């Protein structure tokens, strides 16, 4: 039979000073003590865990200063009021482990002292990698799960609500520096900017000093979201006290629940209405709520804090000397009836860690006792366990708690846990509620790690809708971000996308260029497919040019018919009848030539456009050159009459036409063999359209052909100018001079205008130049003759011609009147 032993487990709480108005009482720390007592009683009732053994405990209340930490530790070690190191007046110290918390500072300061004595120490506060340093804290174990992924959850929350401009408040210690490094890396990766960073001194935690500079920084910042990352005691010392003075109208995001139970003023609590905080997920421990419901002064008379609760809230008679409750209490009074804004019946994260810490010690004691039984086969029982021997069992302990959750103390075996996300409500005013609104698990598949019920979240009363926290308003589609010089990347200007570029999402860094086959809509948010177009007959411009082309060709045929009808008259015979007919027919085709430029282009029409235009105008200009040369030879020749007669009879000037045409054909042959015209598309000239055009291929060949035609026109002009003073009746050269001047002017003007236009206009300019130059030839050469033939027939007679040319030599008259 194992002898009954009474083990003492030391529990050190953080400052929980009870004053007259409970203004600085830590209700969460008090709940930890209840979880501690609940776990002890539950273990003692369990016949399978530490049978025939009872666990006991001592409470030590730690004050604020570092000396308070050490003083209480020395008091426990020595068992006397005078702190003498390495000396104890206890007859028998049965304590096997010490539970410390809820701040890392409490555990660290006490742990350095207890490490000298190798006493097992369990910290139930938030996990801290600093306390895992076995070189400094070889006897310290942490119950809380690792929280190294918590900042991922906070960043995911920022991304979920599109908060890219946040303030960051940390405590200036090793943990704050590490968290700052983690946040900066993750913020930079997700394009979140920090509006301000405030590293608060740890000394602020233990004072009521109001840091006005910090308050001013928070209030003046344009960031509507402030992240506060540290333990609950820091939050109380730095944030809660200043909130008595003002409201921040900010959304607070915290890594743990604040101890705001002592704040009963709804005005003050309004500052934290809408706060979002993260806690490790844990299932409820069965019977804990029932335990708190039955936790009364009559059952636990040694709890003086509890007696004062009953006195303040249930009007019970209270005896100050012994802190006892006498009578006149509210029937069925319990902790459950305390105001909900100050007391939470659900087990907090720290209380849950406390519960697991007690069970970790109990299971370790159980394993150690079983081992001692196996070793000691004789004797009446097992003696008091040596705390030093407990270490090997604490390192390897692994068990399931009352909620079915696995608990392990080895920091290397701890895994990142799932987090519950809570939202603080103060609705109706003064009625505090912590509502679970979501979860975060780093182990979940990508994209499903954060789950939030947005409709359940209540925001600060200063926000009528989802709060926005950005340095610059979002750039709507059609605009892109342009970073402001010297500012964070979240501070930017919105500028419109360049021509034919779009942005179809919010806050795009760069606009996307539309493909050549598409164009940007007016809002520059989508690329639309371009419509294929060309200079068609249905197009107003194409229709106008077609009508002009057909009209001029019909007019030319009319002139031709007039000359045919009056072919026997002197004026027709005197102007070289055959060349006149060739010129009129050529001009007719020149006027029809623009029809090749209208309609859907293809390879054949592209080749015919330039070659037909070049050949027709070469024939026309060479014909005019032949007519001009004939006039010059007839009136300006200095050779003998017999030679002139032979030249005129042999029609030698007419050979100019095939010679000039042959030269042009050689140029065209070179053009078509090296770089012929082809169909092309112009996607930029006309917005929203792709214009199908003919590319001329070799621009050198095209300009060479134009230069050749202009040189022929210039030659014609020179010859015609030399014969400008011939008698009026035969002075066709004067009209040729004007026609060549018009032709030359049209094509010289055409070149710069042609190169300054694109698309259909460029094509129309070439067509217009063809029509204008052809009309110049037709008008200046044939209009005067038609005028005589149709309106002044009396001047179209041999008698009139003789009377005008009596001073001309007979040979010349004879030659001109017999020209076929």
**Which CATH number goes with the domain that contains 736?**
1.20.1070
Residues 93 and 193 in one domain: no
Rounded to whole angstroms, the Cα distance separating 119 from 95 reads 9
Helix (H) or strand (E) holding 324: strand 324-325
Q: What is the pLDDT of residues 147-179, one digit of tens each?
A: 878 889 999 999 999 999 999 988 888 888 889
Looking at residue 420, its pLDDT comes to 92
Residues 236 and 278 in one domain: yes
Per the structure, the count of domains in the chain is 5
Rounded to whole angstroms, the Cα distance separating 288 from 359 reads 14
Is residue 339 assigned to a domain? no
Q: Three-class SS of residue 92?
A: coil
Nearest Cα to 171, choosing from 223, 119, 233, 114? Answer: 233
Is residue 691 assigned to a domain? yes
Is residue 196 assigned to a domain? yes
Residue 399 CB burial class (10 angstroms; 0-12, 13-18, ≥19): middle
Average the pLDDT over 119-141 and give the result: 88
Q: Residue 593 — pLDDT band, cuts 50, 70, 90?
A: very high
Q: Count CA atoms closer than 13 A to 692's CA, side-chain side.
A: 17
Is residue 570 assigned to a domain? yes
Residues 577 and 711 in one domain: yes
Residues 724 and 739 in one domain: yes
pLDDT exceeds 70 at position 517:
yes
* Omega of the bond leading into 355 within 30 degrees of 0 (cis): no
Cα separations (Å) of 428 from 269, 345, 431, 433? 12, 19, 6, 10
Domain that holds residue 484: 479-529
Question: Hey, what are 801's tokens?
Answer: 């011609």
Question: Hey, what are 226's tokens?
Answer: 């402030």
Q: Is the pTM of this model over 0.85?
A: no
Residues 791 and 807 in one domain: yes
Nearest Cα to 798, choosing from 787, 814, 784? Answer: 814
The 10 Å Cβ neighbour count of residue 278 is 25
Q: Are 275 and 252 in contact (CB under 8 A)?
A: yes
Concatenating the DSSP letter of every residue in 153-204 gives HHHHHHHHTT--EEEEEEESSHHHHHHHHHHHHHHHHTT-EEEEEEEE-GGG
Is residue 733 assigned to a domain? yes
Nearest Cα to 99, choosing from 15, 42, 33? Answer: 33
* Count of helices and strands (H, E) across the chain: 23, 26
Average the pLDDT over 304-329 and give the result: 73
Nearest Cα to 668, choosing from 694, 695, 693, 704? Answer: 704
Rounded to whole angstroms, the Cα distance separating 159 from 447 reads 12
Residues 561 and 692 in one domain: yes
pLDDT exceeds 60 at position 568:
yes
Looking at residue 140, its pLDDT comes to 92
Q: Three-class SS of residue 39?
A: helix
Residues 763 and 629 in one domain: yes
Q: What percent of the chain has pLDDT over 90?
A: 25
Nearest Cα to 472, choosing from 459, 487, 457? Answer: 487
Q: What is the pLDDT of residues 667-692, one digit of tens each?
A: 999 999 999 999 988 888 887 888 88
Residues 587 and 705 in one domain: yes
Looking at residue 204, its pLDDT comes to 61
Q: Are 654 and 807 in contact (CB under 8 A)?
A: no
User: How many residues would you count in the chain?
Assistant: 820
Q: Are 334 and 294 in contact (CB under 8 A)?
A: yes
Looking at residue 272, its pLDDT comes to 75
Is residue 797 assigned to a domain? yes
Q: Are 713 and 740 in contact (CB under 8 A)?
A: yes
Nearest Cα to 804, choosing from 566, 567, 570, 568? Answer: 570
Looking at residue 324, its pLDDT comes to 66
Greatest extent of the chain over all pairs of C-alpha atoms, in Å: 169
Range with lowest mean pLDDT among 101-115, 470-484, 742-756, 772-786: 101-115
Concatenating the DSSP letter of every residue in 495-514 gives EEPPTTEE--STT-SS-EEP
Residues 687 and 572 in one domain: yes
Is residue 1 assigned to a domain? no
How high is the mean pLDDT of the chain? 80
Residues 365 and 504 in one domain: no
Residues 19 and 31 in one domain: yes
Residues 715 and 733 in one domain: yes
The alpha carbon dihedral of 683, 688, 692, 693 has a sign of negative
Structure-model confidence comparison of residues 617 and 572, the more confident one: 617
Is residue 465 assigned to a domain? no
Looking at residue 424, its pLDDT comes to 86
* Omega of the bond leading into 428 within 30 degrees of 0 (cis): yes
The CATH number given to whatever domain includes residue 12 is 3.40.50.2300
Looking at residue 155, its pLDDT comes to 94
Looking at residue 165, its pLDDT comes to 93
| CB burial string 532-568: b at 16+ within 10 A, e below | ebbbeeebeebeebbebbeebbebbeebbebbeebee
């Amino acid at each position: 039979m194992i002898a009954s032993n009474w083990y003492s487990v030391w529990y050190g709480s953080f400052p929980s000073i009870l004053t007259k108005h409970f203004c600085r009482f830590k209700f969460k720390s008090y709940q930890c003590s209840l979880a501690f007592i609940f776990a002890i009683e539950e273990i003692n009732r369990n016949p399978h865990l530490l049978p025939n053994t009872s666990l006991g405990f001592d409470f030590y209340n730690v004050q604020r200063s570092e000396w308070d930490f050490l003083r209480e530790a020395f008091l426990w070690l020595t068992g006397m009021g005078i702190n003498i190191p390495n000396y104890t007046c206890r007859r028998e110290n049965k304590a096997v482990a010490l539970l410390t918390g809820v701040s890392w500072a409490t555990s660290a300061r006490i742990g350095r002292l207890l490490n000298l004595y190798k006493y097992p120490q369990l910290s139930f506060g938030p996990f801290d990698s600093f306390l895992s340093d076995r070189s400094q804290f070889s006897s310290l174990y942490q119950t809380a799960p690792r929280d190294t992924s918590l900042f991922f959850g906070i960043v995911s929350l920022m991304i979920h609500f599109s908060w890219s401009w946040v303030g960051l408040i940390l405590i200036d210690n090793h943990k704050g520096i590490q968290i700052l490094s983690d946040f900066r890396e993750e913020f930079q990766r997700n394009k979140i900017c920090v509006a301000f960073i405030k590293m608060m001194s740890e000394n602020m935690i233990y004072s009521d000093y109001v840091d006005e500079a910090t308050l001013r920084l928070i209030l003046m910042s344009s960031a509507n979201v402030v992240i506060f990352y540290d333990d609950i005691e820091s939050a109380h010392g730095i944030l809660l006290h200043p909130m008595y003075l003002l409201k921040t109208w900010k959304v607070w995001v915290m890594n743990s629940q604040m101890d705001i139970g002592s704040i009963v003023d709804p005005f003050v609590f309004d500052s934290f209405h809408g706060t979002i905080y993260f806690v490790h997920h844990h299932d409820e421990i069965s019977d804990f709520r029932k335990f708190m419901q039955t936790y009364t002064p009559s059952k636990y008379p040694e709890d003086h804090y509890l007696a004062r609760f009953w006195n303040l809230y249930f009007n019970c008679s209270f005896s100050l000397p012994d802190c006892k409750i006498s009578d006149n209490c509210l029937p069925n009074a319990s902790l459950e009836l305390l105001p909900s804004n100050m007391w939470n019946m659900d087990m907090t994260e720290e209380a849950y860690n406390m519960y697991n810490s007690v069970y970790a010690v109990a299971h370790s004691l159980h394993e150690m006792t079983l081992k001692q039984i196996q070793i000691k086969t004789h004797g009446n029982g097992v003696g008091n366990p040596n705390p030093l021997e407990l270490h090997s069992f604490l390192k390897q302990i692994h068990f399931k708690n009352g909620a079915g959750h696995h608990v392990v103390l080895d920091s290397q075996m701890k895994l990142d846990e799932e987090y519950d996300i809570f939202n603080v409500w103060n609705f109706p005013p003064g009625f505090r509620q912590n509502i679970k609104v979501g979860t975060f698990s780093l182990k979940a598949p990508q994209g499903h790690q954060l789950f939030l019920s947005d409709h359940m979240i209540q925001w600060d009363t200063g926000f009528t809708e989802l709060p926005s926290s950005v340095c610059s308003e979002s750039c709507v589609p059609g605009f892109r971000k342009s970073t402001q010089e010297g500012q964070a990347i979240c501070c930017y200007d919105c500028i419109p996308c360049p021509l034919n570029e779009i942005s179809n999402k919010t806050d795009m860094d760069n606009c996307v260029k539309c493909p050549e086959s598409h164009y940007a809509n007016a809002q520059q948010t989508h690329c639309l497919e371009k419509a294929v177009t060309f200079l068609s007959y249905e197009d107003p411009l194409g229709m106008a040019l077609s009508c002009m082309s057909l009209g001029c060709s019909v007019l030319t045929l009319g002139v031709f018919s007039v000359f045919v009808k009056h072919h026997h008259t002197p004026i027709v015979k005197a102007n070289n009848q055959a060349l006149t007919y060739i010129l009129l027919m050529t001009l007719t085709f020149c006027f029809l030539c623009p029809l090749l430029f209208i309609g859907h282009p293809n390879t054949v029409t592209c080749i015919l456009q330039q070659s037909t235009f070049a050949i027709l105008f070469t024939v026309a200009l060479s014909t005019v050159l032949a007519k001009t040369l004939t006039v010059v030879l007839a009136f300006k020749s200095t050779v003998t009459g017999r030679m002139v007669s032979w030249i005129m009879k042999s029609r030698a000037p007419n050979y100019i036409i095939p010679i000039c045409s042959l030269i042009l054909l050689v140029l065209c042959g070179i053009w078509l063999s090296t770089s012929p015209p082809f169909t092309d598309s112009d996607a930029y000239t006309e917005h929203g359209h792709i214009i199908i055009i003919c590319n001329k291929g070799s621009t050198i060949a095209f300009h060479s052909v134009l230069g050749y035609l202009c040189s022929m026109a210039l030659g014609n002009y020179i010859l015609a100018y030399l014969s400008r003073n011939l008698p009026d009746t035969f002075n066709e050269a004067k009209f040729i001079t004007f026609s060549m001047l018009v032709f030359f002017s049209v094509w010289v003007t055409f070149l710069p205008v042609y190169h300054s236009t694109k698309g259909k206009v460029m094509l129309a300019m070439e067509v217009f130049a063809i029509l204008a130059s052809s009309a110049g030839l037709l008008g200046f050469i044939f209009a005067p003759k038609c005028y005589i033939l149709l309106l002044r027939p009396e001047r179209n007679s041999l008698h009139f011609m003789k009377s005008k040319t009596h001073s001309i030599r007979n040979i010349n008259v004879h030659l001109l009147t017999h020209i076929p």
